[in-house]
Structure 1
Amino acid sequence: MKTTTFGVDLAKRVFQVHWVDMDTGEINRKQFKREQLVSFFAKQAPALIAMEACGSAHYWARRFAGFGHQVRLIAPAFVRPFVKRNKTDVADAQAIWEAAQRPEMRFVAVKSEPQQAVLTLHRVRQQLKKMHRMQTNQIHGLLYEFGATVHRGWHSMDDAARQLTELADTLPAMVIDTLREQLQRVETLAQDIRTIERRLAAWQRQDEAATRLVAIPGVGLLTSTAAVATIGQASTFRSGREFSACIGLVPRQSGTGGRVKLLGISKRGDVYLRTLLIHGARSVLTHSKHLDDMLQRLLARRPFNVVVVALANRMARMIWALLAHGRTYQPGYAVHAV
């Protein structure tokens, strides 16, 4: 007996399901409320359920897997070519159903709750950092309007507080009070960021995979925890290059007639993880006193930022290799042909 494939278009309250009856060939399109969807799949025989890798997809994937179903998540960009004409819930569910049955389709690994929890901390920290930067820049700008210049950087608030004290006798009290409140908000944001980083550090010490990744030069607390949580299952990728391509660190290709032109990096996939890897690679090239011969030769003939991205690409492949094969980092490791 063949396994039935279901295409599910996710939503907050109303879900669209598309499937074909394997015995009669009848095409079924049905709409469910949230509770109805759960009870519907709880009663079905083990089947293949395909969904877009969008909001709440990992939650529903774990829920359906608990009923004994096989779940596949597809990136929305790979579903779009199968949508016929107008984009509706019915058309989306059918497109997901068709995309899931393509032999060369790529799927997204289902994340566990702990992995999603770690990514939640990263997203909150990222937003707090943005807010901290915005408020810090605003304080710098407002003080500059009154002739006070503040040093740039994360630790400039002590300088801003000193400048504000010096201006206390010349500025209206309402301005001084407002800027002091703003300084307090910036300090609160900094404390919240440090709290999240302590939580990530505690999780990293408990996770064996994240602990092994820290040994890679340029991979620290943020990169190691984000990589483990983002990858999910390393076996989802066939090679380190495929993982690197997934996060946009390989060149785009354009060609015809057998001639292929390599362009800049594709910048597809997870922007956050790619940014962390590039920053880590830049730190290695800037502060490391002992670079290997390959990097030194590359720096001699290519622009600095090109070498940074090349090193980030290599770091991504190392991360995949350590996670996929359960290895530890070995400096100077090289693959020898048998």
Structure 2
Amino acid sequence: MKTTTFGVDLAKRVFQIHWVDTETGEIGRRQLKRAQLREFFANRPPAIIAMEACGSAHFWGRQLISLGHEARLIAPQFVRPFVKRNKTDAADAQAIWEAAQRPEMRFVAVKSEAQQSVLTLHRVREQLVKVRTMQINQMHGLLYEFGAAVPANRHNLGEAAQALTRLADTIPAVVIDTLREQLRRVDALSQDIAEIERRLAAWQRGNEAAKRLMAIPGVGPLSASAAVATIGDARAFRCAREFAAFLGLVPRQSGTGGRVKLLGISKRGDVYLRTLLIHGARAVLACSKHLSETSQRLLGRRPFNVAVVALTNKIARTIWAMLAHDRVYQPGYTAHAA
């Protein structure tokens, strides 16, 4: 007996389902309310349920797995080519169903609740850092308009406060009071960011995989926790290069007539994790005591940023190998052919 495949178009309130009966070949379409979705699949035999990897997809994936089904999440850009007509819920569900049939289709691993919790902390921290940077830049720009050139850096907030004191007699008091309130908001944001980082550090200390990743030069608490939470099961990637491609660290290709041209890195996939790893690699290359002979030779013949990306690619592949094969970091490790 063949397993039935369902295509589900997720939404906040109304869900569209598309499937083909494996025995009769009859096409089925159904529209369900949010409260009806779990009941619908609870009364069905084990099936393959495909969904777009969009909002709430991981939640519904866990729900369907608990009912005995196999959940497959597909990136939205892989579903779009299969939409045959105007974009409707029914057309999207059918496109998801068709995309799930492709033998070479790549699927997104369903994240656990713990993974999503850690990534939630990272997303909130990322947003707070952006807001803090915006407020600091605005404050420094406004001070510059009144003749106070203060370095635009969160570590120089003391200088900004001193500049406000010096300018108290030359600019309106209402401006001074407003900028001091801005300073207090920036300080409050810094405290919130520090609290989130303490929570991430506490989680990282209790996670064995994250602790092992910390041994890699260029991987800190943020990178280690984000990598473990993002990857989940590393065996979902067939090889280290596939994981590097997931992070957008491999070259884009453009070619025709049998000639392929390699371009810059694709920058696809998870932007946040790629950014953390690139910053870590940049810190390693800036610190000479951590440089290997290979890195030194690379810096001697290639621009600094090119070397940074090359080292980031190596770090990403090392992370995959350690998680997929449950290994510890070994400096100077050389892979041997099977």
Query: What TM-score bracket applies, with the shorter chain setting the length?
Result: over 0.9
Q: Unaligned regions of 5+ residues in structure 1, if any?
A: none
Number of the residue aligned with 1:188: 188
Q: CA deviation at 1:307?
A: 0.7
Secondary structure of residue in 2 paired with 1:155: helix
Deviates more, 1:145-154 or 1:37-46: 145-154
Matches within 5 A, 1:148-297: 148-297=148-297
Contact 2:136 2:152 in 1 (8 A): no
Q: Unaligned regions of 5+ residues in structure 2, if any?
A: none
Matched, 1:333 2:310: no
Number of the residue aligned with 1:15: 15
Number of the residue aligned with 2:306: 306
Deviations for 1:105-126, whole angstroms, at most 9, x for unmatched residues?
Answer: 1110100001000100010000
Secondary structure of residue in 1 paired with 2:169: coil
From the superposition, tell whether residues 293 and 153 of structure 1 become closer, same or farther in structure 2 (CA, over 3 Å): same
The aligned amino acid for 2:96 is I
Deviations for 1:97-146, whole angstroms, at most 9, x for unmatched residues?
Answer: 11111111111010000100010001000000000000001110111111
Aligned residues: 338
Matches within 5 A, 1:67-82: 67-82=67-82
Instruction: Give TM-score, length-normalised by structure 2.
Output: 0.98
Matches within 5 A, 1:13-52: 13-52=13-52
Deviations for 1:69-109, whole angstroms, at most 9, x for unmatched residues?
Answer: 01100111111111102111111100111111111111101
CA distance in 2, matches of 1:238, 1:23: 34
Q: CA deviation at 1:152?
A: 3.0
Deviations for 1:197-236, whole angstroms, at most 9, x for unmatched residues?
Answer: 0000000001111111011000001111111111121010
The aligned amino acid for 1:319 is I
Deviates more, 1:295-304 or 1:239-248: 295-304
Number of the residue aligned with 1:315: 315
CA distance in 1, matches of 2:273, 2:48: 30
Deviates more, 1:186-195 or 1:299-308: 299-308
CA distance in 1, matches of 2:66, 2:335: 41
Number of the residue aligned with 1:62: 62
Secondary structure of residue in 1 paired with 2:45: coil
Number of the residue aligned with 2:129: 129
CA distance in 1, matches of 2:245, 2:52: 20
CA distance in 2, matches of 1:232, 1:96: 24
Contact 2:284 2:290 in 1 (8 A): no
The aligned amino acid for 1:215 is A
Number of the residue aligned with 1:86: 86
Q: CA deviation at 1:290?
A: 4.1
The aligned amino acid for 1:59 is F
CA distance in 2, matches of 1:204, 1:47: 36
Secondary structure of residue in 2 paired with 1:45: coil
CA distance in 1, matches of 2:168, 2:153: 24
Q: CA deviation at 1:287?
A: 1.5
CA distance in 1, matches of 2:114, 2:290: 37
